[in-house]
């Protein structure tokens, strides 16, 4: 099976086939979290995926399975509309393909789909209101490797780092310091 045999299927609740494929999509998304060691509660993420799939406004999310000619899911893509600092943007939560696949044609199609989606989202925005003018990919890989993979004809740049800490660990450290 070649990479070019992989096609993108958009999961939309209005399509009966999407209901049949959603469990496969959901399991791929949850397996991605486990495999990549992402610090996320998979049950909460499962509920979020379901809520976003069932949301009555189809323009708030995009969910795709990459399926080969044999009907086997070889990758997936999930993105949703989000807001940060008062500006709406498209948040690509996961883009994943099976080992030995690049899904290059599908990946390129995802950029076209994001362009079309932003046009739909921005079509009826009143003057003076913020439009969607950014797509943000989150990656758990080295950013430079991901940027090379995503080569898309646009200038992809690493623009954010996520720093976090455990509240429980901080409290424990403060208590230990106070005891000394």
Residues in the chain, total: 180
pLDDT tens per residue across all 180 residues of the chain? 455 678 889 999 999 999 999 999 999 999 999 988 888 899 999 999 999 999 878 789 999 999 988 999 998 999 999 998 889 999 888 888 888 776 666 677 788 888 899 999 999 899 999 999 888 877 666 666 666 666 655 566 666 656 667 788 878 888 888 887
What number does CATH give the domain 3-179?
3.40.630.30
Please state the domain extents for the chain.
3-179
Tell me, what DSSP letter sits at residue 37?
T
Q: Residues 19, 12, 105, CA angle at the centre, nearest 5°?
A: 105
What are residue 89's DSSP bridge partners?
82
């Amino acid at each position: 099976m070649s990479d070019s045999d992989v096609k993108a299927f958009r999961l939309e609740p209005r399509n009966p086939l999407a209901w049949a494929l959603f469990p496969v999509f959901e399991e791929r998304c949850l397996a991605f979290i486990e495999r990549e060691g992402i610090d996320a509660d998979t049950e909460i993420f499962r509920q979020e995926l379901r809520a976003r799939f069932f949301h009555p406004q189809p323009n708030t999310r995009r969910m795709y399975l990459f399926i080969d000619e044999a009907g086997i899911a070889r990758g997936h893509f999930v993105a949703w509309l989000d807001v940060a600092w008062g500006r709406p943007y498209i948040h690509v939560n996961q883009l994943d393909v099976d080992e030995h696949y690049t899904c290059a044609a599908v990946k390129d199609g995802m950029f076209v789909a994001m362009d079309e989606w932003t046009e739909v989202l921005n079509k009826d925005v009143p003057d003076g209101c913020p439009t969607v003018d950014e797509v943000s990919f989150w990656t758990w890989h080295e950013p430079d490797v991901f940027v090379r993979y995503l080569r898309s004809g646009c200038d992809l740049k690493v623009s954010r780092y996520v720093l976090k800490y455990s509240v429980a660990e901080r409290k424990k450290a403060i208590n230990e310091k106070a005891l000394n």
